[in-house]
Structure 1
Amino acid sequence: MMLPLIDSQQFHNIDYTDNSFQRAEYDNCTFTNCNFSDADLSSVIFIECEFDTCNFSNAIIKNTTFREVNFIECKFIGMQFQDCNPFLLSFNFSNCQLQFTSFYKLKLKQIKFDKCNLIQVDFIETDLTNAVFDDCVFNNTVFRQSILKNSDFSTSNNFIINPEINTITNAKFSKENVLGLLHHYQISIN
């Protein structure tokens, strides 16, 4: 089924909890201060779109396409990104709040998280090759059987990564935050 094309449109201050979101292909669109809480975004296509100050708490994204999408100052609670369309999946997060969000088994090579708070986020079996976590704060985020090759954690803090169950070849850490790699050994360092 061909979806209608919506190109280069701007959407401001729309509450999609009250209005049903139109299933379409959105190309080069901007959404500002929109509320997608509990909205059904299933099978919608977003290409080169930007979401600024939007709330995605518990939004449904089954087979949703995100290609070259930027999320700025957005809130995500309970998002299940593993349900979206994995083909050419590409997005970045800046100044976002992510809580109880899952990226289970996704290929997120070269993804960037800039100044984000990641609280109880699931990166189980996630490919984060060349990912950048710039000035991010982690709290109970899970990295298990993830690929973190060449990933950059050097300016982030409070993460816990077990190098025995994750691939961290050539990943970058700072002297100040390297303790997150030793946490599972239950040792004290003074």
Structure 2
Amino acid sequence: MFSTHQVIPTASLFEILASQNDIHSVDFGSLSFEGTDLSGKRFTGCRFSRSAFINSRMDGCRIRMCFFDFSRIEGSTFKNCDIQFSSFAGVRLDHADFSGSDLLHDNFNGILCADSTFNDSDLYNSRFVLATLKNSTFQNCNLKKTMFYQTIREQVSFKSSNTREALFMKGDSPE
């Protein structure tokens, strides 16, 4: 049986975030999370599309099949997260920190990424197709099957990462 989509008032959405650690199938799209600490939460099948994460923390979160498409992530941390099968397509990352995270099978296609870090992360089978990466670091990362097709890269460091197992366009090199 099909049910109609129920719109949840914004205040109730923030109550859900404050009171629950396991959050499933909730639409947080187009919300602003400024200075919000969501560390340690577990999100499954949630939508954060077109949201803004400004100076927020999501450290240690477990995220599965969530959508952050076309969001803005500025000065925020996603340290030591376990994020799988999620989409960050078209996201604007500025001074974001994903260090120490497992970012498996994730979509970062078309992102605009500046002054951000993915250091010490596992990016197995993730995609950065048509991404613009500036002043950002992927140091000591697992890049096996990570796709960097048609990327613009300026001042990007892959130091101590397994770039030979990453996928770059023919004739393109990580340096």
Q: What is the TM-score with the length of structure 2 in the denominator? A: 0.76
1:95 corresponding residue in structure 2 = 100
* Gap regions ≥5 residues in structure 1: 5-9, 172-190
Q: Distance in 1 between matches of 2:118 and 2:142?
A: 10
TM-score (normalizing by structure 1): 0.70
Query: Counterpart amino acid of 1:160?
Result: A
State the alpha-carbon separation in 2 of the partners of residues 165 and 145 from structure 1: 11
Identity across matched positions, percent: 19
Structure-2 separation of matches of 1:49 and 1:165? 39
Distance in structure 1 (CA, Å) of the matches to 2:125 and 2:155: 23
User: Paired residue for 1:148, among 150, 153, 168?
Assistant: 153
Residue 31 (structure 1) aligned with residue 31 (structure 2): no
Partner residue, 2:54: 47
Structure 1 residue 163 displacement after superposition: 6.8
Alignment of 1:1-190 (within 5 A): 14-17=21-24, 24-84=31-91, 86=92, 89-90=93-94, 91-158=96-163, 159-160=165-166, 162=168, 164-166=170-172, 171=175
**Matches of 1:103 and 1:22 in 2, distance apart?**
18
Q: CA RMSD in A?
A: 2.8
Please state how far the C-alpha of 1:20 moved relative to its aligned partner.
6.5
How many angstroms apart in 2 are the aligned matches of 1:127 and 1:19?
30
CA distance in 1: counterparts of 2:128 and 2:25, whole angstroms: 32
Higher strand share: 1
Where in structure 2 are there 5+ consecutive unaligned residues? Answer: 1-9, 12-16
> Considering only CA atoms, is the larger Rg found in Structure 1 or Structure 2?
1
